[in-house]
Structure 1
Amino acid sequence: MHRHDLVVIGAGTGNALIDDRFAHLDVAVISEGPFGGTCLNAGCIPSKMLVATADVADAVCEAGRHDVDAVLRRVRWSDVQRRIFGRLDADSRQGEEGRRASPFVTVHRGRARFTGERRLRVETADGPVEVEADRIVVAAGGRPTVPPVVAESGLPYETSDTVMRIAAPPERLLVLGGGYIAAELAHVFHAVGSRITIVEQHERLLAQQDEAVSAAYTDLVRSRYDLRLGRAATRLEGVPGALRLVLDDGAVVEGDTLLVAVGRRPNTDRLDLAKAGIAHDEDGPIRVDEQLRTSADGVWAIGDVSTGVPLKHVANREAEVVAHNLLHPEAPRTMSYDAVPSAVFTRPQIAQVGLTEQDARDQGLDYAVAVHRYEDVAYGWAIEDTRGFCKILAERSTGRLLGAHLFGPQAATLVQPLVLAMATGMTAREVAEVPLWIHPALTEVVENALLALDTGRP
């Protein structure tokens, strides 16, 4: 039996939780996967490095609108992969080596399952290890969801965990799913030469976005991809390299590679949580209170295994809260999800915070809405953008910001002033009129959308 003061399950955000403030404790980190977790190895960072490459390739192809004659010769896929994963794999190895070198941290490599109250069994390469701790942080992450029609077919498929490391871009890529992972990876592979077919059960892509954004994105990519919307897959057949996806309307779409991007699920089913008295939703996240404590005494949970908002920046904040609460139980902090921004790094970028218009309508709110287009500000002219817009919703009676949505270049950056305003309680008019907004810059599209809101507030 290995006894520790603190055990962290997961070497992604969980590993980042541990720093020198914990040097007075005997700490253990348990991890089955590579250090750095999904974000570093198969998620946010490699996908955005690939997106940046795809954006460069697309910029070359679109150079004519700026009266520049340019030709894209090719994207050197193997060189791109070496540049990205050569760096990230080294970072992952260094993260593990650095943790192993720590005088107060023990690393247990393998999958952990609870065997009792704050007791774990870790299946390592050298055999099972029994672990016990005074306190435990569960940060075991999540994984791609694979529907039975694919998983039980016996045929090969890729997920976001694997597709970025394939040897060469497919000639024809089938994408099952129409959310943000599907959008970003379709953008990447289209830019490097793949023909894309997307099968999505909703009638529009990015259906969780504001309806105006979802509609704009769907209309935009109709000319890029073969879209099969409002359709479900009923069967996967064929042979490796020549796959056939049969749809519920009888249509058949073909490709040499299938990317499954229908969502992600928390790894709660792999932890035997009931044996530790840890409550969780059925096939869903661990339940936590506002201090991120689970139902089991001395056990906290963070990240994709526990939150309904599986975003790295959310997990990072959760780690800060739990680290503080572990060190200062007499003055605990709480976690707020009141103004959580997110972005989709497709082309163009998409960003949002707060309510969509359909949310506000469904909740029966009395709201004002304003939209301002990129092409109506000076820098929008400079970049020749005719598609982008900023959409903002505010409570009519108070001017309180309810939600914001951007569709266009730099959206992930432009949304941040609105995140700050929502987090601090500034009204739409205050955000528009108190700070100075740089001219000419794309931030003017946000300023003008704020000024256009008719909330009845002075």
Structure 2
Amino acid sequence: MPHHQLVIIGTGSGNTLVTDELEGLDIAIVEAGRFGGTCLNVGCIPTKMFVLPADRVVEAEDASRIGVTVTGASADWAAIRDRVFARIDPIADGGEEYRVSQEFVTVYKAEARFVGERRLLLSTGEELTADRIVVAAGSRPRGLPIEGLTGADPARGVHTSDTVMRMDRLPRRMVVIGGGFVACEFAYVFAAYGVEVTQVQRSATLLSREEAEVAHTYTAVSAERIDLRLGTVVTDAEYDGSEWTLSLGGPDGPAQVRADTVLLAVGRDPNTDRIDAEAGGLATDASGLLVVDERLRTSVPEVWALGDVCSEDQLKHVANHHARIVAHNLAVDFGRTPGEPRTLDDRVIPHGVFGHPQIAAFGPTRAQLEAAGTEFVCYTQRFSDVAQGWALEDPHGLLTVHATPDGRILAAHCIGPHSSTLIQPLIQAATFGQRALEVARGQYWIHPALAEVVENALLGLPLESS
């Protein structure tokens, strides 16, 4: 039975744990799929590469607002798909080849599940034990408890985010089930590429966890571009060999929608069941996430976890933050580096939604602040009220900032062009404790850049000192 000093399960952010400080240790990496994890292969990176062509098509369609006529803008699915994966696949392959080439690293191409404390059974039948284990096993797309829609079945036109980007050809009609990040981004992309998209969302708005005005704005824009069914659930599904008929229950009663392809985008589940965490003594919460402390230690000594398998924030930048903490703490634990273990910093966790319009946010919404009884002030700055907004003729963009009455920034919620870039000064200010007026008045703001939206939002806050 092979024994290793360290076993890492998963090669997303888990692959970054093999740092210089650990070189020479007996390290094993267990990975059944492609190196690079969700983000590289089926998540953040390829999806954003599909978003960019969609943006160009939509910008062409909307160019008449600024007096420009663009005709014939369309997306070449095969060219876009092949460009994306010609870039990504060699990175995944190269990552695996590099680890295999390291003399002190053993790569097991297999699935792993716990059969005891720090004891793993691989799908090859081999068993491993280890002094220390890091669980970086990630998450997977969730299906529906409806026959035919329990998971991806590409041969019958049922996809998840794991499979939909490698389709041979675009379908004529697609039903996207869900209203979160993944659903909204793909609904936008495929509609821009010319697919007839119906999106089915059980809540009253898309992106219902966002600030109310942001969610309502995004929902209204989407309803202009696709067939959007709100307050609706799928109750049944039938496949006739070429076409799906989905039965729906919604505010107007029963209905049906037909499509060539169905995209399941109803959430993701942590892979704690696949690794049989319970058999390894690892505690999980009601959501199935591994329970970890501020050092990312699990309930079992010398076992850590990181990323989607232990975090409600299923974001690559969160997993990377976790990996930096675990890598340092491993080095301390192995006596390879001096100092104290590091702990989580989850004060400000931003996220983005790369649909149309783009969204970025961090911190609580107005409703959450009110429910918590937090004293706060807020201001909403519309893109259309700054000079660059005039140039863009942007009808939807807005930035809402929530702050304490004395100017400490609590949250920001943005929708509009370049939101994921525009919000970064506010993330920085909130993280480092800068006050609103200090940020607004303590530096030059390029005029007439879109960043003036941030400046004006901060100046608009009704602060005690203003």
| One of 139, 143, 149 as aligned partner of 1:151 | 149
| One of 122, 137, 142 as aligned partner of 2:139 | 142
What code does the residue aligned with 2:22 have? F
What code does the residue aligned with 2:388 have? Y
> Does 1:360 pair with 2:361?
no
Could you say what secondary structure the match of 1:204 adopts?
A: coil
| Correspondence for 1:95 | 95
Q: Structure 2 vs 1, CA of residues 240 and 263 (structure 1 numbering), >3 Å: closer, same or farther? A: farther
TM-score, length basis structure 1: 0.96
> How far does the alpha carbon of each residue in 1:228-280 deviate from its partner, in whole angstroms, 9 at most, with x for none?
10111110113243111111231111111100111111001111212221101
CA contact (8 A) 1:171 1:256 kept: yes
> How far does the alpha carbon of each residue in 1:160-205 deviate from its partner, in whole angstroms, 9 at most, with x for none?
1111111112111101101111111011101110011111110000
| Correspondence for 2:81 | 81
| Correspondence for 1:257 | 261
CA contact (8 A) 1:353 1:404 kept: yes
CA contact (8 A) 2:54 2:193 kept: yes
CA contact (8 A) 2:57 2:73 kept: no
C-alpha distance in 1, partners of 2:222/2:292?
39
TM-score, length basis structure 2: 0.95
Could you say what secondary structure the match of 2:272 adopts?
A: helix
| Correspondence for 1:351 | 360
| Correspondence for 2:336 | none
What code does the residue aligned with 1:394 have? A
Shift of the alpha carbon at 1:74? 2.9
Shift of the alpha carbon at 1:152? 5.3
Q: Structure 2 vs 1, CA of residues 238 and 359 (structure 1 numbering), >3 Å: closer, same or farther? A: same
Could you say what secondary structure the match of 1:121 adopts?
A: strand
Give the 5 Å matches for 1:185-204: 185-204=186-205
> Does 1:422 pair with 2:423?
no
C-alpha distance in 2, partners of 1:273/1:221?
40
| Correspondence for 1:35 | 35
> Does 1:438 pair with 2:446?
yes
| Correspondence for 1:373 | 382
C-alpha distance in 2, partners of 1:239/1:90?
38
C-alpha distance in 2, partners of 1:94/1:120?
26
C-alpha distance in 2, partners of 1:3/1:171?
53
CA contact (8 A) 1:156 1:240 kept: no
> Does 1:205 pair with 2:206?
yes
CA contact (8 A) 1:324 1:333 kept: yes
Shift of the alpha carbon at 1:66? 2.5
CA contact (8 A) 2:429 2:435 kept: yes
Dislocated runs of 4+, deviation >4 Å: 152-156
> How far does the alpha carbon of each residue in 1:385-405 deviate from its partner, in whole angstroms, 9 at most, with x for none?
121011111122x32211101
| Correspondence for 2:65 | 65
What code does the residue aligned with 1:102 have? Q
CA contact (8 A) 1:240 1:256 kept: no
Shift of the alpha carbon at 1:130? 1.1
CA contact (8 A) 1:389 1:406 kept: yes
Q: Structure 2 vs 1, CA of residues 283 and 390 (structure 1 numbering), >3 Å: closer, same or farther? A: closer
What code does the residue aligned with 1:440 have? P
C-alpha distance in 2, partners of 1:72/1:183?
25
Shift of the alpha carbon at 1:156? 4.4
What is the number of residues matched between the two proteins? 454
CA contact (8 A) 2:199 2:228 kept: yes
What code does the residue aligned with 1:332 have? P
Identity, % of aligned pairs?
46
| Correspondence for 2:296 | 292
Cα RMSD of the aligned pairs, angstroms, is 1.4
CA contact (8 A) 1:7 1:137 kept: yes
CA contact (8 A) 1:325 1:332 kept: yes
Could you say what secondary structure the match of 1:412 adopts?
A: helix
What code does the residue aligned with 1:146 have? G
| One of 391, 394, 397 as aligned partner of 2:400 | 391
What code does the residue aligned with 2:267 have? G
Q: Structure 2 vs 1, CA of residues 269 and 282 (structure 1 numbering), >3 Å: closer, same or farther? A: farther
C-alpha distance in 2, partners of 1:119/1:129?
11
Gaps of 5+ in 2: 334-338
What code does the residue aligned with 2:464 have? G
C-alpha distance in 2, partners of 1:392/1:240?
51
Could you say what secondary structure the match of 2:5 adopts?
A: strand
Please, which moves more after superposition, 56-65 or 261-270? 56-65
CA contact (8 A) 2:149 2:264 kept: no
C-alpha distance in 2, partners of 1:107/1:72?
49
